[in-house]
Chains A and B, each alone.
Chain A
Amino acid sequence: MDFMDLVARYNEEYGMVDDDWENIKKTTILTFVEEGGKTLSRYNGIPVYRDRDFEKTIFAGETWICSMDKSKLTYYFAKGIQRIDSAFMFELKSEQRDEIVSCIWDKQKRIIEPILEEKYREVAAKNLEQATEETRSKYEAEIKTLKDSIHNLEQKETENKQIIESLHEKLNAKNNDTESQNPIPSGISALMPFGIASNISVKRSGPDTIISDTFNKSRYFVHLSADHRTIVIRPHEQGNVICMNNTIILERLGLISPFNGPYDMISEYSPMYGGIQIYL
């Protein structure tokens, strides 16, 4: 449907007087170009110049709904009614837009279709790439987590093996030397939790190493005060510090408290903290 057909249809549907029809016949859509230094359009091959009132309104490259003055035979003049641009398109009602789009599609399908196809391929490829990247990074993160877990478990297994070994050694030693051991009086063990004897002796045997007979559990939590004056050692089955052969090795202990040879550390059982408190 061209512009005149559309006008004729509206004439039928809504009814128009003859004057309207005459005006509409003068109305057409023109695209202006620069030709020989002049801005003009062509209507059936006849040049259409801008009306003098519209020389500062209509420019080359623009498309306008114009009213033409056809009084001259070899050239016409055009007055702009409405510039057709994106703003004009957006102001149209959706039905009007649909009609225009449908008209364009019918006439320009051959040109538009390959452009749309290419655009669709581009968008699809981009989406696919993005989805692939997201999936890859997700799986990589999962793999990393699993590797970390495996590493931690392997480390734990090694630690537990060492603990079991140490306990076996202890058990063997006890079996061999049962008679020589002095049993702890039941009263004291009831008063002192975790089997800690009343006389606590903790020795510093190395920069990072402390030894005590009371370190008879396999795992401990060890906490240091921020002023570096106190250490509290608490037995706990999930403790992060492993004790072997009554010996605890603590990372960076030598840094916070310099070691000048073995010595007995001042220590006591602290009911408040539920563990052995050592003063540095």
Chain B
Amino acid sequence: MMFIDLRNILKSVDTIPFNLDLYTLAVQLVGQRELVAAYVFDSKMPFGSDDASKRYHDKLRYLGFRVIARESYDSVRQEQKEVDVAMACEMVVHALRGHYDVAIVVSGDRDFVPAIQHIQAAGKKVEVAAFSNSVGAVVRQSADKFHELEKMPLLIMSNPRGESDRLSETEEWL
């Protein structure tokens, strides 16, 4: 089962002029294994407000991701709330219910270390995937396996005219 902390992972590539392909990311990380579910955690604006991320979330849902978007985006401080805890809860609950054997955590956030340890204590394996610029030694060490995302071909290239690609909305709302 895969758990993606969307803001954390997109923040790592926000200086690169290419969009991250989450679908390819999931395919490459899962490999030949059976994917039970791929969760994407993000925040969204309150109902009724003009939320540019909604289209992106819909697109991810169309691709098969289970998007959990919490109405907790603080537009003044430009940061999201609740999302990390929501993701940690989901990871631990699924582990304790025996829904998966391996959790693939796509985030370099150190806040997930306690949740990772609980999952491991429940007899499950945890793989962490993150970009090196956003992950610390503690997270690397806590994981059973670490995937260096910067070595994986995940950024979408296109023709010069910039045809509509699958995830071209990313730039619009970042």
Q: Is A18 an interface residue (CB 8 A)?
A: no
Within 8 A of B (CB), among A215-261: 221-227, 229-232, 240-242, 249-253, 255
**Secondary structure at chain B's binding surface: helix, strand, loop or mixed?**
loop
Q: Is A159 an interface residue (CB 8 A)?
A: yes
Q: Is B61 an interface residue (CB 8 A)?
A: no
Q: Is A51 an interface residue (CB 8 A)?
A: no
In the complex, chain B residues whose CB is within 8 Å of the CB of A230? 151, 153
User: B12, B154, B158: which contacts A225 (Cβ < 8 A)?
Assistant: B154
Q: Is A69 an interface residue (CB 8 A)?
A: no
Asked if B158 and A223 sit within 8 Å, CB to CB, the answer is no
Closest to B16 in A: A226
Binary interface encoding of chain A residues 19-56 relative to chain B, with 1 for a CB under 8 A from any of its CBs, else 0: 00000000000000000000000000000000000000
A145 to B97 CA separation, bound complex (whole angstroms) = 43
Closest to A273 in B: B153
Q: Is A208 an interface residue (CB 8 A)?
A: yes
Asked if A223 and B21 sit within 8 Å, CB to CB, the answer is yes
Q: Is A152 an interface residue (CB 8 A)?
A: yes
In the complex, chain A residues whose CB is within 8 Å of the CB of B165? 240
Number of residues of chain B lying within 8 A (CB) of chain A: 28
**Secondary structure at chain A's binding surface: helix, strand, loop or mixed?**
mixed
Asked if A159 and B153 sit within 8 Å, CB to CB, the answer is no
Number of residues of chain A lying within 8 A (CB) of chain B: 27
User: B31, B131, B155, B163: which contacts A224 (Cβ < 8 A)?
Assistant: B155
Within 8 A of A (CB), among B1-39: 12-13, 16-18, 21, 24, 28, 31
Asked if B155 and A225 sit within 8 Å, CB to CB, the answer is yes
Given A226-B13, A251-B158: A232 and B163 within 8 A (CB)? no
Q: Is B122 an interface residue (CB 8 A)?
A: no
In the complex, chain A residues whose CB is within 8 Å of the CB of B163? 155, 159, 240-242
Q: Is B135 an interface residue (CB 8 A)?
A: no
CB distance from B149 to the nearest CB of A (A): 7
Asked if B157 and A251 sit within 8 Å, CB to CB, the answer is yes
CB distance from A61 to the nearest CB of B (A): 44
Asked if B18 and A224 sit within 8 Å, CB to CB, the answer is yes
A154 to B55 CA separation, bound complex (whole angstroms) = 22
Asked if A250 and B158 sit within 8 Å, CB to CB, the answer is yes
In the complex, chain B residues whose CB is within 8 Å of the CB of A222? 156-158
A residues in contact (CB < 8 Å) with B: 152, 155, 159, 208, 221-227, 229-232, 240-242, 249-253, 255, 272-273, 277
Q: Which are the 4 A-B pairs with shortest beta-carbon distances?
A: A226-B150, A223-B153, A240-B165, A232-B153
Q: A225-B151, A226-B151, A241-B158 are in contact. List 5 more A-B contacts (CB 8 A).
A: A208-B160, A223-B154, A229-B151, A240-B163, A273-B153
